[in-house]
Chain A
């Protein structure tokens, strides 16, 4: 029997740029040209002021661990225990993700630890943004 895979996202026209970005190894966000709000998830208008004049840009991919759980329950494509995290990006928006290249323990997963994006290829069309502990930046 084939191993169950994690749930695969299906893009819509409004979110396609985000998934195209992930496939290219970029985390893409949107910014309002009118009020300068940076937002997520993707929408073709600003959820702050309603303007339809918005731009897509490549985010830094850096952020910090805002909160998380370590799930001990079975889930397709995961080996418990695994961390389900919310990452606060340096640009402001938060998104759900998993923390990889890190022990899945409360000791290793410290709130506010610095993170950086990495991508896991699910198939030819979808790569999923995940996060790993940030490398120490050069002094």
Chain B
């Protein structure tokens, strides 16, 4: 894909985030969509492309009253929205549609009107993982981390620092769910969930949604603060965490990330701001390593030394992340929203003069990955 041909011209989250017991999941989609359409200064009738995950494009199109000429129902977990951005950019460039709406919503906490996600007992997961007592992502996602730590010499304290640093970012963000400062000791003394991870190393469970509007860079000139798509990448590996090629790295990450960097034609030193989907505290380490910012063996020390915290040389997860900002279940949309805010210069914890933002998402338990590199420079 050619860089800077497509831009985000509308971006918004649901009016409320956190606990929203008075809205169904579909209504959260609509609230986010209407906010994003208003943010772009458009009308529903301007939308001719629809992408969403878990729910279907037909549900969203019908609910909002859209007649699309292009849809994408890619649903690969929490990074689905990164893949939607990539696919939408290609579709707009190919002339399949002009203005795309991407929506996410999840009543993750209140469970109202939620689409069930079932694993059949005759599927691979049902036959070869579920019988061993995996239940929620908390019992699956951390399975690789002990091997990762042993291979790369990462310590428990270093991984605890991920949660500490992200709470520092969240403290600057009025919409963040958790803002009270925490220490490494707080993290390592918090309730055990799945050794080695404790509750402060696991994502929040909240309600919310978000939406993006994309159009061609040429049309984007008429909009306020367009944010350009500079590079994109995507991949999938396996739906079974036990079947990853290795636990020392994520194949989906190291396929999608470098693809986006090559397409953008940038070096790592050019990056001002990074979002790495943090469903659990080890993900920023995998992300920094697999995206090529540094060898995996240096990621723990890099974070523990404070380089990703406010004022650090590589600001990471500046909204507070899935650990402290919000996590409805498919957090990728909120990472994208924060990258767009940073590129527009309107983030609550704004990185000064940021021009390039890397937004990296995960789907399932390292099952899928999508990377979007944004810039505010036409």
Contact = CB atoms under 8 A, between A and B. Distances in A.
Q: Which of A7, A78, A82, A98 has the most CB of B within 10 A?
A: A7
A75 B136 CA distance: 10
A50 interface: no
A30 to B, nearest CB: 14
A70 B133 CA distance: 11
Contacts of A102: none
A83 B148 CA distance: 17
Interface residues of B, number: 37
A11 B122 contact: yes
A135 interface: no
A94 B243 contact: yes
A84 B138 CA distance: 12
Contacts of B146: 67-69, 111
B245 to A, nearest CB: 10
A72 B195 contact: yes
Given A67-B144, A69-B197, A84-B143, A96 B129 contact: yes
B139 A73 contact: yes
Do most interface residues of chain B lie in helix, strand or loop, or is the interface mixed? Answer: mixed
A8 B132 contact: no
Given A67-B146, A84-B143, A96 B134 contact: yes
A27 B124 CA distance: 17
Interface string A52-92: 00000000000000111111110101100110111000000
Contacts of B136: 73
A6 B142 CA distance: 21
A81 B243 contact: no
Nearest to B130: A7
B189 interface: no
Interface string A5-35: 0111111100100000000000000000000
Interface in A87-113: 94-98, 106, 111
A115 interface: no
* 8 residue pairs, one from A and one from B, having the closest CB atoms: A67-B147, A70-B195, A96-B242, A9-B127, A7-B130, A10-B122, A69-B194, A10-B121
Given A7-B121, A67-B143, A69-B142, A15 B127 contact: yes
Nearest to B129: A96
Contacts of A95: 128, 242
Given A69-B142, A84-B132, A95-B128, A9 B192 contact: no
B76 to A, nearest CB: 19
A72 B150 CA distance: 22
Given A11-B122, A67-B145, A98-B133, 6 more contacts: A8-B131, A9-B130, A12-B127, A41-B127, A70-B195, A75-B133
19 contacts: A9-B128, A10-B120, A10-B126, A67-B146, A67-B147, A68-B146, A69-B195, A70-B194, A72-B191, A72-B195, A73-B138, A73-B139, A75-B135, A82-B133, A96-B242, A106-B195, A106-B196, A111-B146, A122-B131
A87 B240 CA distance: 14
Interface in B281-327: none
Contact of B147 (A12, A66, A70, A71): A66
A92 B135 CA distance: 26
A67 B124 CA distance: 20
Contacts of B81: none
Nearest to A120: B131
B128 A111 contact: no
Nearest to B138: A73
A11 B128 CA distance: 10
Contact of A66 (B129, B133, B140, B247): B247
B145 A71 contact: no
Given A8-B121, A77-B133, A106-B195, A69 B139 contact: yes
Interface string B100-130: 0000000000000000000011101011111
A41 B133 contact: no
A67 B143 CA distance: 6
A109 to B, nearest CB: 9
Contact of B131 (A7, A68, A81): A7
B193 interface: yes
Contact of A128 (B131, B134, B192, B240): B131
Nearest to B148: A67
A77 B131 CA distance: 9
A72 B136 CA distance: 12
B128 A10 contact: no
Contacts of A98: 132-133
B342 to A, nearest CB: 34
Contacts of A68: 143, 146
A41 B126 contact: no
A41 B124 contact: yes
Given A41-B127, A94-B242, A111 B150 contact: yes
